[in-house]
């Protein structure tokens, strides 16, 4: 939670963004910032989907903030989940997306070409030519599938973790209440 708090934009920082300003009155609504049983899994799923599908860092958090409105998702959790795609994981996500899109649609996108282009420091023109080949449809299809599956898995895991956390809190609360009753009954017995 500390990492999420440190790396997620604050409510005020997000509302100060020029892209969010037109929607600020809606994004500022308190239900988008509360940690509840329904908003946390939704924020997790939304953050994973947007973070993987839109690999552009500035677009990810703003996208989560705007998409949180109709889905009533938790914005801080969604923003934190976008950090799954980072400079270390992005090449793996792209390579997996191209491979998966190629396998799904039988395109002729070549993941090996992607690896060679990264190693040789390809120019922007070479990247554009690669994307305009079969790589772009394979990449987009693969990104969509990977982001959708990640969002689904994230939603289920967040729901399970949330439910277990609540169960654990209730058990602790019941144990404390039982211990207090036992202490009170033993003190009443010893006093009498």
Q: pLDDT for 103-120, tens place per residue? A: 887 777 777 777 777 788
Domains of the chain: total:
1
CA-based nearest residue to 145, from 107, 110, 85, 97: 97
Output 9 or 65, whichever has higher pLDDT. Answer: 65
- Going by pLDDT thresholds of 50, 70 and 90, the confidence category of residue 156 is very high
Confidence at residue 109, expressed as pLDDT on a 0 to 100 scale:
72
Q: Give dist(CA 63, CA 70) in Å, integer.
A: 12
Say how far residue 56 (Cα) sits from the centre of its chain: 14
Say how far residue 106 (Cα) sits from the centre of its chain: 30
Q: Are 60 and 67 in contact (CB under 8 A)?
A: no
> What pTM was estimated for this model as a whole?
0.73
Q: Please report, in angstroms and rounded to a whole number, the separation of the first and last CA atoms in the chain.
A: 48
Q: Which residues contact 93 (CB under 8 A, 6 or more apart)?
A: 52, 55, 85, 143, 146
Eight-state DSSP code of residue 74? -
Confidence at residue 53, expressed as pLDDT on a 0 to 100 scale:
92
- What's the rounded mean pLDDT across residues 42-47? 94
Residue 114's domain spans which residues? 2-191
Q: Are 159 and 41 in contact (CB under 8 A)?
A: yes
What the block records as the tokens of 39 is 């908003």
Q: What would the pLDDT profile of 66-103 be if each residue is shown by its tens digit?
A: 888 889 899 889 988 998 888 888 889 988 988 898 88
- What's the rounded mean pLDDT across residues 107-136? 78
What the block records as the tokens of 132 is 């305009």
Question: DSSP alpha helices (H): ranges in the chain?
Answer: 2-7, 11-16, 24-27, 39-53, 57-71, 75-81, 90-105, 111-120, 124-130, 136-191
Q: Give dist(CA 33, CA 44) in Å, integer.
A: 13
Q: Are 32 and 105 in contact (CB under 8 A)?
A: no
Q: What would the pLDDT profile of 169-182 be if each residue is shown by its tens digit?
A: 888 888 888 888 88
Q: Give dist(CA 180, CA 174) in Å, integer.
A: 10
């Amino acid at each position: 939670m500390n990492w999420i708090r440190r790396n997620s934009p604050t409510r005020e920082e997000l509302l100060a963004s020029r892209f969010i300003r037109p929607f600020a009155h809606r994004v500022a609504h308190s239900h988008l910032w509360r940690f509840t049983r329904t908003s946390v899994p939704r924020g997790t799923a939304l953050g994973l989907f947007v973070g993987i599908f839109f690999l552009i860092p500035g677009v990810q958090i703003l996208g989560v903030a705007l998409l949180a409105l109709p889905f009533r998702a938790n914005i801080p959790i969604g923003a934190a989940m976008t950090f799954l795609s980072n400079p270390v994981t992005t090449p793996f996500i792209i390579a997996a997306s191209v491979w998966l899109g190629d396998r799904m649609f039988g395109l002729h996108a070549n993941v090996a070409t992607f690896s060679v282009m990264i190693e040789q420091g390809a120019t922007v023109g070479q990247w554009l030519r690669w994307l305009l080949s079969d790589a772009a449809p394979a990449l987009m299809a693969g990104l969509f599938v990977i982001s959708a599956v990640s969002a689904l898995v994230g939603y289920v895991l967040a729901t399970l973790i949330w439910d277990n956390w609540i169960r654990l809190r209730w058990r602790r609360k019941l144990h404390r209440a039982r211990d207090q009753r036992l202490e009170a009954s033993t003190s009443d017995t010893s006093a009498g």
